[in-house]
């Protein structure tokens, strides 16, 4: 199975900050990497597909980059509604796997 490792596991930041979350795959997954936002009690929300494609309706403050094994999610100008847990997920293998999540908390 392809293992996905996110760092950091948790992150404290202030409103207005820019943050970057990293996701590393255990093998080359080309650009088959997606990012989700998940808030407690809510359905997860797809933010970015294929490493860099911003989904319709998702603010441009979110951006993704990377290919191969190393990927990043960047969030600019944090707002209160951005504090959530973020997950990466690979689709290179049909045994789809998620990273362990990065919890973004307000400082």
**Residues of this chain that bind other proteins (CB under 8 A):** 1, 30-32, 34, 36, 38, 42-46, 49-50, 53, 55, 85, 87, 89, 91-92, 94-101
Nearest in space to 98 (alpha carbons), one of 35, 8, 42? 35
Distance CA 107, CA 85 (A): 15
Distance CA 43, CA 55 (A): 16
Distance CA 61, CA 104 (A): 15
If the CB atoms of residues 82 and 85 are measured against other proteins, the closer one turns out to be: 85
Least Å distance, CB 30 to other proteins, is: 7
If the CB atoms of residues 17 and 52 are measured against other proteins, the closer one turns out to be: 52
If the CB atoms of residues 81 and 95 are measured against other proteins, the closer one turns out to be: 95
If the CB atoms of residues 34 and 75 are measured against other proteins, the closer one turns out to be: 34
Least Å distance, CB 16 to other proteins, is: 27
Cα 94 off chain centre by: 19
DSSP letter at 18 equals -
Least Å distance, CB 28 to other proteins, is: 11
């Amino acid at each position: 199975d392809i293992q996905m490792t996110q760092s950091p596991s948790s992150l404290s930041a202030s409103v207005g900050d820019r943050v970057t979350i990293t996701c590393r795959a255990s093998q080359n997954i080309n650009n088959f990497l997606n990012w989700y936002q998940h808030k407690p009690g809510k359905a997860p929300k797809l933010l970015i597909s294929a490493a860099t494609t911003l989904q319709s309706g998702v603010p441009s403050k979110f951006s993704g980059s990377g290919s191969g094994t190393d990927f990043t999610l960047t969030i600019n100008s944090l707002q209160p509604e951005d504090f959530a847990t973020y997950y990466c997920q690979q689709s290179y293998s049909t045994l789809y796997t998620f990273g362990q999540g990065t919890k973004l908390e307000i400082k």
